[in-house]
Chains A and B, each alone.
Chain A
Amino acid sequence: MTRADGGRNKESAVKFELSEQQRMIRDMARDFATKEVAPQAAENDAEERFPAELVGRMGELGFMGMNVAEKYGGSGLDTLCYVLAMEEISKACASTGVIMSVNNSLVCWPLETYGTEEQKQTWLAPLARGEKLGAYCLSEPNAGTDAANQQTFAKPDGDGWVINGMKNFITNGAHADTLIVFAQTNPALRHKGIRAFIVEKTDPGFSVIRKEDKMGIRASETSQLALDGVKVGPERVLGDEGTGFRIAMSTLDGGRIGIASQALGISAAAYEAARLYALQREQFGKPIASFQAIQWKIADMVLRLEAARLLTYRAAWTKEQGGSYSREAAMAKLAASEASHFITNEAVQIFGGNGYSKEYPVERHFRDAKITEIYEGTSEAQRMVISAQEFKK
């Protein structure tokens, strides 16, 4: 297994350079995103078209299991490589970005971290190679921020389990082959009764109830799912008894690094578009870039973007060190998502009436950005995570 050494050089205290491998991955992702993803982004958004061919191409390029060990079909790269690739792809299309993020962070990671050797061979490898697509099923109609309040129940059935319940807002829900499903096995134990299961879309009793009609990331698919007496064998249980909620939460730590990177990509796209527009758009006889009101906006936008990027890189680095990184991941996600809200909002303002029209991409960036403050933990939930860690010190 050849992991990159970038960011893990213990001899240098702080280093702001990417390793050669990290640069290479970023350039490769940028090239792919510019040539193949960006040209179809607006149309996929308008038509709510899931970019199945792009997902296939990302599998070929090794983007669907970036941090997974090579022996399990992954690319064996470090977290920063993943962040860099996520930003580039999300810059072209935030919908494509979230499809990738879910597969990498929310499905491959828990399978590799908590799975048995057999589970890794059976389920992880095809996901990491991009031959199959994954989904992560935690949210329910009444379990949003309060994720421990699971109303999906798993009952023992012979040596296996029967699962009944409903899952909400599942990214890739209708397209996924393999789903990680959280369910309560013993309500008396509250969150300690939750366990994680591997469900396949072909399992009898599994069905897609409906697809959400969303404000943004419209090329990605978000569905409500039903588990109606889904029977799974013992080989489908992920992790030990009592660990389901911990698996869910630790998985979201990594997921937040993915969403932070997605938000960075949206921000970078909107910022770059606004910067170029300000240079070229003339009002009152000169480029609007020469007006202080616009200059201040540009300064604040790039400041927020770069600060959020550094927090995201640090979260990726902290994860590579081993040990807890939930505080760093929450900070990265909070800063990057709120920055993307701010930046896309200012970008629309700089574009004026044109920013409200679908003819310019900032209209899409603005709609896409909002969800980054909501999913994988709202901004309010990130603040809860950060302050809890601070008071624990």
Chain B
Amino acid sequence: MDFDLSQNQTMFRDMVRDFARKEIAPIAQEMDEQSGMPDDLIAKMRDSGFFGLAFPEQYGGLGADTVTYGLVVEELAKASAGVCVMLTVHNSVGSYPVAMFGSEDIKREYLPRMAAGEIAAFCVTEPGAGSDAAALTTTARKDGDAYILDGSKIFVTNGSRAAFFVVVARTPGTTGHRDTHAFIVPRETPGLTVGKKEDKMGLRASDTTVVDFSGAKVPAACLLGSEGDGFKIAMAALDGGRIGIAFQALGIGMACLEEAVRYAAVREQFGKPLLKQPVIGNMIADMGTELEAARLLALQAAWLKDSGRPYGKQAAMAKLASSEAAWRAADKAVQIHGGYGFCKEYPVERYYRDVRVTRIYEGTSEIQRLVIARHLGRDYV
């Protein structure tokens, strides 16, 4: 057992922390209010290599291991959960399917461009296929040496900015997860249209859109893995994605804890700081304990992935524990701030709205429990 980070991991985390404090945190509130991200922030992140964080070095990435990636995600989320989700979707579910399942030609064609900052997105969810991802109805019809995509995807993070979309679709007339296929689809593909932006409770700096496919022709070379691998690829991508979301939630949760402690230390009622009042002290103690426990689960999942061992169960546990702990932390942080916590003048108001989705996307808490219970069933029966 070793709870120390490597020198490299610490260095990477500190570098990102510094960047996040200087470049992201000061404009986080403004990005939330204006529902967007400035292009020059994206350019700076591009220059710093953020878009190739988790990519292998041979394809132009930084080759960060999953633990490092998690620490980076946490630092970004602490500053702005909206900026963070843009990068995590790009680095995990948007690109991982290409890195893991793409042919060598595909990897060489797309990964360096993604690593250089051409943004990736992931299209699985549909109006009728949320937790039940296998119910997707977008079709991929074989047409000579190509596939023709038809259907509509929703809740696509990065939809407005993405250059590439990983899309899961099925053979027409089939049901279930077997006849599904995954593709990498460039934005300029005729028949692909990016639709309206969702007006969301939180993560307002990031964009979430509809993506429509209407006779969108994709060369057969863009198929990831083999025919029929679509659902498997999506689920594998989500296993890794969940580690990212766990760290995102932890980042928001830690920001809540820090703000709450700082506020409680200076805010006086009944002649003494809130921090010295047992009820508030207890709330803060619970926030810290739950977040640290969750972080250990998240680090464990990242470490398992880096060690090449199975990590699906631990990723689900990490995502469930982190998102739930961060949610409770956000709620307590608002409560400790009292009326101020309900006002946009204080960042905890934003954290409360931002953190809520971490219990929903990349598998709701209910789905994580289902995944965990299935794993435990296999472990002990």
Contact = CB atoms under 8 A, between A and B. Distances in A.
Given A357-B198, A370-B334, A283 B132 contact: yes
A169 B360 CA distance: 32
B361 A353 contact: yes
A373 interface: yes
B342 A216 contact: yes
A181 B155 CA distance: 48
A282 B269 contact: no
Contact of B352 (A168, A363, A370): A370
Interface in B23-81: none
Contact of A373 (B279, B335, B343, B344): B335
Interface stretch (B123-131, B238-246, B247-255): B123-131
A367 B339 contact: no
Contact of B342 (A283, A355, A366, A370): A370
Contact of A214 (B130, B268, B342): B342
Contacts of A149: 269-270
Nearest to B125: A353
Interface residues of A, number: 39
Given A149-B269, A284-B132, A366-B201, A139 B364 contact: no
Contacts of A213: 343-345
A367 B343 CA distance: 11
Given A349-B360, A356-B201, A356-B202, A215 B343 contact: yes
Contacts of A139: 339
A218 B38 CA distance: 27
B375 to A, nearest CB: 17
B357 interface: yes
Contacts of B268: 142
A379 interface: yes
Given A144-B338, A284-B135, A358-B201, A352 B356 contact: no
Contacts of A142: 268
Interface string B195-217: 00011111000000000000000
Residues of B in contact with A, size category:
35 or more
A215 B360 contact: no
Contacts of A356: 200-202, 356-357, 360
Given A349-B365, A353-B130, A169 B201 contact: no
A212 B341 CA distance: 11
Nearest to A146: B269
A376 B357 CA distance: 29
Given A293-B366, A349-B360, A358-B200, A215 B349 contact: yes
B335 A144 contact: no
A282 B128 contact: yes
A374 B202 contact: no
Contacts of B135: 283-285
B178 interface: no
A349 B359 contact: yes
Contacts of A168: 339
Contacts of B366: 293, 349
Contact of B335 (A146, A212, A284, A378): A378
Contacts of A335: none
A213 B251 CA distance: 25
A118 interface: no
Interface of B: 125, 128-132, 135, 154-155, 198-202, 268-271, 279-280, 331, 334-335, 338-339, 341-345, 349, 352-353, 356-357, 359-361, 364-366, 369
Given A214-B342, A215-B349, 13 more contacts: A212-B342, A214-B349, A284-B132, A285-B132, A349-B360, A349-B365, A352-B130, A358-B199, A367-B201, A370-B342, A371-B342, A378-B335, A379-B335
Interface of A: 139, 142, 144-146, 149, 168-169, 212-216, 282-285, 293, 341, 348-349, 352-353, 355-359, 363, 366-367, 370-371, 373-375, 378-380
The 9 closest A-B pairs by CB, nearest first: A283-B132, A146-B269, A358-B199, A213-B344, A169-B339, A284-B132, A293-B366, A146-B270, A353-B155
